[in-house]
């Protein structure tokens, strides 16, 4: 049985006299920094000089410094920047200011697990990973609730790393909902697998292929869009609220029977084998090496794939149909 940690298990005393530097102010950075600050912890934001986020962070009531100064002044340095730039920023601007007994914090284990960042042995290394986009991390906190999260300890130099991780998770608001302890390896490999096979890669490919099949069979692109992409949100919302059970209960008998009989024919043993291949590439570091090299070439392949994705017919017709639904954009703006 997995143990869950709540507010009662996390003591802010572990943070007494310690300053937290949140490096980066994007989706997770802005949310976690504000939540930590509102929890009464001593927080500073580290950004590069000239960053467009600088005034935003100051406007949110936070002290802002350069990355170098923030890392040098803080005792706990939380790196919340894109995976592909973390190692360079760490080596150039964070590592020189580290002192024995400091702590490095991550919300994704990629750079530690794949040895892109190799911390000194005399600092704590732990993870606090909210299982939610940043806007929900912030919104639920302001509402007096929180999102579930993960903690992990990679290196316990002081003997206090787990206590720090729990206190940190409480400051972010995760212990209000419940926190699970994991490892850097488990978090990294399962996260990458989910992104590639299911949540992002698999879903996008399923949408595009099913759209193509309907259009090639002579159906209107607009009809294909509604049935293969637009209505997906209705199904995902049901699954999110109550699992597959609620989804099957909520749809028609026709949809349930057709889905249960045909789904396994589409996502079949060949699909399962492709998933295992993807998992092996994640486990053996092949994907990480490829992704790091992609970053070194200024994302040449990714830029090309993004262009092709944007030109796909499901996107072309989708832009026209979404223009008929102005509430979609208003929902995004509210977030």
Contact 79, 24 (CB under 8 A): yes
Verify whether residue 108 is a known catalytic residue: yes
Question: What is residue 119's three-state secondary structure?
Answer: coil
Check 108, 113, 168, 299 and give the catalytic one: 108
Residue 14, exposed/middle/buried by CB under 10 A (0-12, 13-18, 19+)?
middle
Helix ranges restricted to H, the chain: 27-38, 53-59, 67-73, 83-89, 110-113, 134-142, 161-172, 174-177, 184-193, 201-216, 221-225, 232-250, 253-266, 269-283, 286-296, 300-311, 313-322, 327-334
| Token pair listed for 244 | 């597959």
Cα end-to-end distance, the chain, whole Å: 35
Report how far apart, in Å, the C-alpha atoms of 106 and of each of 75, 165, 253 are.
14, 10, 45
Any idea which residues carry the catalytic annotation? 108
């Amino acid at each position: 049985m997995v143990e869950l940690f709540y507010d009662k298990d996390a003591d802010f005393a572990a943070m007494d006299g310690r300053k937290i530097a949140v490096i980066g102010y994007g989706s997770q950075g802005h949310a976690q920094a504000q939540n930590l600050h509102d929890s009464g912890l001593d927080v500073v934001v580290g950004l590069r000089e000239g960053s467009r986020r600088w005034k935003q962070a100051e406007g949110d009531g936070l002290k802002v410094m350069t990355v170098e100064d923030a890392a040098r002044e803080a005792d706990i340095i939380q790196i919340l920047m894109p995976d592909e730039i973390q190692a360079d920023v760490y080596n150039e601007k964070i590592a020189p200011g580290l002192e024995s007994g400091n702590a490095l914090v991550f919300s994704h284990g990629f750079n530690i697990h794949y040895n892109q960042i190799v911390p000194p042995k005399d600092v704590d290394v732990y993870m606090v990973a909210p299982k939610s986009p940043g806007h929900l991390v912030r919104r639920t906190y302001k509402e007096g609730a929180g999102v579930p999260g993960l903690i992990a300890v990679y290196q316990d130099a002081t003997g206090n790393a787990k206590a720090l991780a729990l206190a940190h998770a409480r400051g972010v608001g995760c212990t209000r909902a419940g926190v699970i302890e994991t490892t850097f390896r488990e978090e990294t490999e399962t996260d990458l697998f989910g992104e590639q096979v299911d949540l992002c890669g698999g879903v996008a490919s399923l949408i595009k292929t099913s759209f193509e099949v309907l259009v090639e069979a002579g159906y209107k692109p607009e009809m294909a869009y509604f049935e293969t992409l637009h209505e997906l949100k209705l199904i995902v919302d049901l699954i999110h609220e109550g699992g597959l059970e609620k989804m099957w209960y909520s749809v028609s008998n026709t949809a349930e029977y057709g889905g249960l009989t045909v789904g396994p024919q589409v996502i079949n043993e060949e699909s399962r084998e492709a998933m295992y291949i993807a998992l092996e590439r994640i486990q053996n570091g092949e994907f990480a090496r490829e992704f790091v090299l992609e970053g070194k070439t200024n994302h040449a392949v990714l830029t090309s794939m993004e262009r092709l994705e944007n030109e796909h017919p499901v996107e072309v017709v989708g832009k026209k149909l979404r223009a008929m639904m102005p509430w979609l954009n208003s929902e995004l703006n509210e977030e």
